[in-house]
Structure 1
């Protein structure tokens, strides 16, 4: 399995971030081809005060090739193009293969 982790530093306007994220961005995300699952939180807690991140998004894809193809699709391009519309604090995107332990 291939995971995507998106970390959002605090935005200039948290209420505007949340409104756009829920009403515009997540509907675009839901259209990503071959995404297996996704989840997010706007309630990030940290041992550091304040937390260096405001929101976290996670998604699962079968493998890296599928993730790359999904983000290269028109739907993926729309997701990427929307980020500057709400993420005034920037964004950190990580993706990686997941290993399981037995």
Structure 2
């Protein structure tokens, strides 16, 4: 598997982020070709301090080439272009192989 992790920094308006993400952005993500698995969650901390990031999204593809094709597609470009509409805190993208999986 090949994983693309999107780290969403703290937005200016978390409620607006959540609303936009669920109603407008998520339908765009669903249309990206070659995605085999998708996950999203808001970050927490174990010690009560504010988390370093607001949320994480992970898209899984069979291969790096499938990820590149997915993001190069019109649907992938549409989803990527939409990020500026709600992620006021900025984002980081991380690309990684998923070599080791423990039960």
Category of TM-score, reference length = shorter chain: over 0.9
How big is the alpha-carbon RMSD for the aligned residues of Structure 1 and Structure 2? 1.4
Structure 1: 4+ residue segments shifted above 4 A: none
Partner of 1:74: 74
Report matched runs for 1:24-63 at 5 Å: 24-42=24-42, 44-47=43-46, 49-63=49-63
What SS does the aligned partner of 1:93 have? strand
What SS does the aligned partner of 2:51 have? coil
Q: For structure 2, list consecutive stretches of 5 or more residues without a partner in the other structure.
A: none
In structure 2, C-alpha distance between the alignment counterparts of 1:100 and 1:55, rounded to whole Å: 23
Return the TM-score normalized by structure 1. Answer: 0.93
What SS does the aligned partner of 1:76 have? helix
What SS does the aligned partner of 1:40 have? strand
Q: For structure 1, list consecutive stretches of 5 or more residues without a partner in the other structure.
A: none
Report matched runs for 1:8-27 at 5 Å: 8-27=8-27
Partner of 1:93: 93
